[in-house]
Structure 1
């Protein structure tokens, strides 16, 4: 078990893998970045280690001899002490069914081997950030629940805690019109120093005064009427509100409950909680974005492509407008990889994706990594001639990169072959038809010598 020096602010990670080389690699890489790392080689050891001292995150392999990763995850989820630990599966299994099962048993993320260190760190940090924020929110919720329990006590109990409470507290009496008995204002019976500070007013300027309606109208147009309903119906009122005041603007949460012919109110500064919630929302947006991005090239992934293709097919079927699809891949990419190495191969794909992305000018146009060295371009409201023009642009921009390719049989630099298909969708059809046509065209482009584009059955009129 590895116990290197670590930064306590980074978090603790438990790595579970039956291959010593994998354990050593991940342990060294994460330890160098300040994480507290523990590593075990079996599922049963993982359960004991997590139970003894729960880590912040678990990196879990699937294929292991005594218990596979799915069984380990289920056992951790069933244990109260370990059920909230985020589990990131990291496995060579790349089938959709394996990934789906990983999420079904409780995994929060899935990394495919061979992994990129940057991806592992990014996904690990996302889970650690969410975990920290969840713990902070839980602490805020516990504190809030404790205070709210006090709010429902009697008026006498409220008076006794006014000056010792960390929340702002006040009791108000309804001021009614003598002729109609309609509530026209509220008189402040008492309030504590905290609420006085929040309102930026002296206690003597508020206690005994009937000036609450004027103040409430500055905060919200409906707040006075809401408090009237608390008094008339006995229904508690609970809200968050943003209060702009000098020198600091802040978020507050209040609970108002009926008290005689008036109401008692408690006010808590929740600026910290709101900040955490916003940060958590941003973290979730980041995770959502990662779910639709290819980890290597940072363009759309296959999942995003499938969704966009289906969406555009249905939309354009209603509008009876053309949809063009381009499939292209790198010529002689395997020889390139074998000759220059996989790192250069990855760099090549990244440069091509970034260059082609600059051609996508319209918001609806989509470049996606379709798989391996193959890419796809969705061009809504585009006919064959428009698709051919984009294909030419792709060829030119890839050639302009001038990436050397000594193992190519068609050029001294990296080139691409492209297949173009176009159709006017109809509701009875299927987007897979267009995909097969583009794939067939790509096949013909390769068969005819590569470094070229081929159009499959051009059946779209120029727009």
Structure 2
């Protein structure tokens, strides 16, 4: 029996139609001026303090930040340094818009990590032009970065992207004391499938399974990655063990419903998957590896107990 050939997945991502700008200034009149300048073509968020800016960036992920320097409690320079020190926000370009105008001031701003420095009073045409330039550069950088982190065959994230996302989400969920759930997934008897139908058909099978997993996860901040070979990982922040188990059961049924023929499978006549579920509220800076170990152990149990099923590790993976 023949199966369809695989076609390479396109890694190109659509660019945002309305880039997100975060305006940070302790003077509301300056915020209003910048809001009016950009509200037509951009989604504009605003805050009057550095502390609030850091919190907003964790939730909103702006495409660019317009940041004042002279602010109480935490000035713009320190705010910028903290943004650049956090892997989750380090790639967000920062433009200082400030009353400071001396060359030494500009040097300090650029050394803090800003990509540009504009002195007040501002020329609206100049500000718009510079924002457009840096948004274009960021979009190009994001696209190139995505190519590095996408699996060329399936179009989902690759192992490198998963490892990075795991560390970022572990730290974020740790800060907010939220659960982080991981599903480890293996296509059952995939070697038999390749032997029976050939490697091109195996590639097509991997693509269909990956697309199914990605479509069924649903939430924008969930991540599907090809972990290696016929194994996938699904990272689900802010999701507890019960919800993770339910989602895993949904994924198992969805893949089986693809009805990809597999007449050499001892488990079923179609392609099936086994899933291991682990979930924890992060309680330390270095515990992400343990989450992977627990999910791997649960996957081993699912395979040992007959495959085409979902298992977790009671007492270890519960949050």
TM-score class, shorter: 0.5 to 0.7
Given candidates 230, 233, 243, the residue that maps to 1:376 is 233
Distance 1:402 1:384 in 2: 28
Distance 1:342 1:276, change over 3 A: farther
1:213-242 deviation per Cα after TM superposition (whole angstroms, max 9, x unaligned): xxxxxxxxxxxxxxxxxxxxxxxxxxxx89
**Alignment check: 8 A CA contact 2:260 2:271 kept:** yes
Is 2:293 aligned against 1:424?
no
Given candidates 364, 370, 377, the residue that maps to 2:221 is 364
Query: After TM superposition, what 4+ stretches of structure 1 lie above 3 angstroms from structure 2?
Result: 116-119, 241-244, 274-285, 458-462
Aligned counterpart, 1:414: 271
Task: Give the gaps of 5 or more residues in structure 1.
Answer: 1-115, 124-240, 245-250, 254-273
Distance 1:122 1:297, change over 3 A: closer
1:69-115 deviation per Cα after TM superposition (whole angstroms, max 9, x unaligned): xxxxxxxxxxxxxxxxxxxxxxxxxxxxxxxxxxxxxxxxxxxxxxx
Distance 2:8 2:285 in 1: 44
Aligned counterpart, 1:311: 168
**Alignment check: 8 A CA contact 1:327 1:439 kept:** yes
**Alignment check: 8 A CA contact 2:11 2:155 kept:** no
Given candidates 274, 294, 302, the residue that maps to 1:445 is 302
Distance 2:267 2:317 in 1: 31
Distance 2:257 2:144 in 1: 34
**Alignment check: 8 A CA contact 2:181 2:235 kept:** yes
Aligned counterpart, 1:322: 179
Task: Give the structure-2-normalised TM-score.
Answer: 0.57
Aligned counterpart, 1:208: none
Report which structure shows greater RCO (CA 8 Å, sep ≥6). 2
What displacement does 1:318 show?
Answer: 2.1
Distance 2:11 2:183 in 1: 32
**Alignment check: 8 A CA contact 2:11 2:152 kept:** no
Aligned counterpart, 1:342: 199
1:262-288 deviation per Cα after TM superposition (whole angstroms, max 9, x unaligned): xxxxxxxxxxxx999987765443211
Distance 1:367 1:122 in 2: 14
The alignment's C-alpha RMSD in Å is 3.5
The structure that has the greater radius of gyration is 1
What displacement does 1:457 show?
Answer: 2.5
Distance 1:363 1:378 in 2: 11
Aligned partner of residue 440 in structure 1, secondary structure: helix
What displacement does 1:118 show?
Answer: 5.7
**Alignment check: 8 A CA contact 1:318 1:426 kept:** no
Task: Give the structure-1-normalised TM-score.
Answer: 0.40
Given candidates 379, 385, 394, the residue that maps to 2:242 is 385
Distance 1:350 1:288 in 2: 22
Distance 2:244 2:292 in 1: 14
**Alignment check: 8 A CA contact 2:206 2:230 kept:** yes
Aligned counterpart, 2:93: none
Structure 2 matches for 1:62-141, cutoff 5 A? Answer: none
1:319-338 deviation per Cα after TM superposition (whole angstroms, max 9, x unaligned): 22221111011000011011
1:368-415 deviation per Cα after TM superposition (whole angstroms, max 9, x unaligned): 110110000111121111011011111011011000001100000000
**Alignment check: 8 A CA contact 2:185 2:273 kept:** yes
Aligned partner of residue 358 in structure 1, secondary structure: helix
1:118-153 deviation per Cα after TM superposition (whole angstroms, max 9, x unaligned): 68x999xxxxxxxxxxxxxxxxxxxxxxxxxxxxxx
Distance 2:213 2:140 in 1: 29
Distance 1:427 1:278, change over 3 A: closer
Distance 1:450 1:373 in 2: 14
Distance 1:305 1:378 in 2: 8
Distance 2:236 2:247 in 1: 9
Distance 1:420 1:379 in 2: 11
Distance 1:322 1:275, change over 3 A: closer
Aligned partner of residue 217 in structure 2, secondary structure: coil
Aligned partner of residue 359 in structure 1, secondary structure: helix
**Alignment check: 8 A CA contact 1:384 1:458 kept:** no
Distance 2:141 2:154 in 1: 21
